[in-house]
Structure 1
Amino acid sequence: MKKLVALAAFTAFAAPLWAATQTVTLSVPGMNCATCPITVKKALTKVSGVSKTDVNLDNREAKVTFDDAKTNVEALMRATKDAGYPSTVVGSTK
């Protein structure tokens, strides 16, 4: 029983050590005016774990840096979609 408790405690404290900062580029084809990147950036920065966003209207892309222990790519895509700008991962076949 002590081993199980110790393992559970180790897992609880070690999980953040396994987290990594990830960067993903999202294609956001619906951006077509000067205010669109502001809306997309605002939606992405509200996602817990996002540390940096760079939204480019000319390329219609958003580069997002995030903590993968707190969020994931699906949550980022959901945030842009909920803001009215569906997105996909650059290079993805989806």
Structure 2
Amino acid sequence: MKHLMALSVLLAASVHPVWGAPQTVTLSVPGMTCSACPLTVKVALTKTPGVEKAEVSYEKRQARVVFDDAKTSVTALTQATASAGYPSSVMGAGK
């Protein structure tokens, strides 16, 4: 029983959960040509697992996305917009 308890403590101490850090990226989305386009882009981004928040501006032709970098990547975000018909590229990134 002591060995089982020691093994349990050792396993618990050696297992470290992997936590993602929230990241923010601004995407340029030049293909938005009408005021309804941002809704399509926002839906595509928010359906991407790991996206916490997406703000899309028609006037600026930009999307600002907050995401968990353990669950998704910038590449996945640009693929999501492209799949929705709006290719995008990174403008700036930071925490």
What TM-score, normalized to structure 1? 0.81
2:47 is aligned to 46
Q: Higher helix fraction: Structure 1 or Structure 2?
A: 1
Q: Is residue 14 of structure 1 aligned with residue 17 of structure 2?
A: yes
1:55 is aligned to 56
Task: Please give the secondary structure, in 1, of the residue aligned with 2:80.
Answer: helix
Q: How far apart are 1:63 and its partner, in Å?
A: 0.1
Instruction: Give the letter aligned to residue 21 of structure 1.
Output: P
1:36 is aligned to 37
RMSD (Å) for aligned C-alpha atoms: 2.0
- Number of equivalent positions: 84
Q: How far apart are 1:14 and its partner, in Å?
A: 2.5
Deviations 1:21-66 (A, max 9, x none): 0000000000010110000000000000001010000000000000
2:66 is aligned to 65
Q: How far apart are 1:91 and its partner, in Å?
A: 5.0
Query: In 2, Cα distance between the equivalents of 1:82 and 1:70?
Result: 19
Relative to structure 1, is the Cα distance of residues 90 and 40 closer, same or farther in structure 2, using a 3 angstrom cutoff?
same
Identity value in percent: 55
Segments of 4+ moved more than 4 angstroms: none
Unaligned runs of 5+ in 1: none
Query: In 2, Cα distance between the equivalents of 1:46 and 1:66?
Result: 12
Unaligned runs of 5+ in 2: 1-6
Query: In 1, Cα distance between the equivalents of 2:49 and 2:92?
Result: 25
Is the 2:22–2:67 Cα contact (8 Å) retained in structure 1? yes
What TM-score, normalized to structure 2? 0.80
